Structure 1
Amino acid sequence: MPGPLDAPVVLIGPMGAGKTSVGKRVAKRLGVPFVDTDKLLVQRHGPIPALFEARGEAHFRGLERDAVDETLRRGATVVSLGGGAVLDPATRRLLRDVRVVCLTVSPEAVEARIAGSDRPLLQHGGIEAWRRIATERAPLYADLADLTLDTSHRPLSHVVDDIVTWVGTDTP
């Protein structure tokens, strides 16, 4: 059993990498709360595609930054961020003092995971839009990550095991 978690563990990465699925399992194993900032935003402000359409991406990123800041202040929590949260410089600064795990996934593996998605940045482009977005954001993910794990072909249980072990041995 890992040692007590005293600071947040944040999962970042492209859409479809498994941040929410992995995050829920890691939180359960560590005995701490799980927060998905996208779900938090939906609860407070309505569907994300509608927010993008009505107010634009810049407004959405500001709401997202506020949700990340609030969530990180909770302390021992596993937090899943939306794929684009790292685009905001202030959000990136918030992530500098916490454990950050980047989950990656190959385009081939993600294609089935995001099929039929209503995610706003995929509305007109499917997997090609995903490739472009993932490529643009990859340097930001890499810069922030303390640990990077590929979820393309590994069982989620193995990814969860790796994170729980790392949290138990890492000092933020």
Structure 2
Amino acid sequence: MPEPLTAPRVVLVGPPGSGKSTVAAALGERWQLAVRDTDADVEATAGKSIPELFVDDGEPHFRALESAAVLAALAEHDGVLALGGGAVLDLGTQQALDDYASGGGVVVFLDVTLTHAAPRVGFNQSRPLLLGNPRAQWAALMEARRPIYERLATITVLTDDLRPTEVAERIETELAALRRAAVEDEA
């Protein structure tokens, strides 16, 4: 593993309902770091919500804005970063995350089962990619995305039955183990 980061900084990836935003907030509070969410960046750039972007401009336009938001955040942000669930589908984003991790950055895959994602996501809300049968759509998204999340992840944490603070504690434990392993490898 490359030289570990001197300050705790992580990028959170995972599907809708995994807790990326709430865990990012918990980590930011614990570590006294700024938190950034690329979905919020996209909405600020577009001046409209993500569901409105999908309806008004289409998914390709949203994905282009999302890719730009991820690249900018990776270049500019030194705190805790949460990516939108589908951001990892972009090949440029995958390469940027690979480069980030090879430089000592940590990508955390927040995994979750459908049973636990459903009440968190509230499948009755407006989520453009979950229209129709939301549970079946979520399962199909995970089938397509899971291999990417797993390949990019430095750390994986299953968030089922855990509060955001508990997930943050597990991430801290895993980070400490990574740092210990890196020190032992150097010795």
TM-score by length of 1: 0.90
The residue that corresponds to 2:147 in the other structure is 139
d(CA) in 1 for partners of 2:125, 2:178? 35
- Superposed, which structure 2 residues align to 1:18-29 within 5 Å? 18-29=19-30
8 Å contact kept, 1:5–1:167: no
d(CA) in 1 for partners of 2:172, 2:30? 7
The residue that corresponds to 1:110 in the other structure is 117
Query: What CA RMSD, in Å, does the superposition of the two structures yield over aligned residues?
Result: 1.8
More divergent stretch after superposition (150-159 vs 87-96): 150-159
d(CA) in 2 for partners of 1:104, 1:164? 16
Cα offsets for 1:144-167 (capped at 9, x unmatched):
000000111123222101212333
1:31 correspondence with 2:32: yes
The residue that corresponds to 1:95 in the other structure is 97
Q: Percent identity?
A: 34
TM-score by length of 2: 0.83
The residue that corresponds to 1:162 in the other structure is 170
**C-alpha deviation, 1:40, in angstroms:** 1.5
**What amino acid sits opposite 1:40 in the alignment?**
D
The residue that corresponds to 1:53 in the other structure is 55
The residue that corresponds to 1:5 in the other structure is 7
d(CA) in 2 for partners of 1:141, 1:66? 19
Higher radius of gyration, 1 or 2: 2
The unaligned stretches of length 5 or more in structure 2 are 183-187
The residue that corresponds to 2:185 in the other structure is none
d(CA) in 2 for partners of 1:81, 1:75? 12
**What amino acid sits opposite 1:73 in the alignment?**
A
Distance 1:5 1:75, change over 3 A: farther
8 Å contact kept, 1:30–1:164: no
**What amino acid sits opposite 1:20 in the alignment?**
S
8 Å contact kept, 1:29–1:164: no
**What amino acid sits opposite 2:129 in the alignment?**
L
Q: Which has the higher contact order (CA 8 A, sep 6+)?
A: 1
1:40 correspondence with 2:41: yes
The unaligned stretches of length 5 or more in structure 1 are none
Aligned residue pairs total: 169
d(CA) in 1 for partners of 2:164, 2:55? 34
8 Å contact kept, 2:38–2:66: yes
8 Å contact kept, 1:5–1:30: no
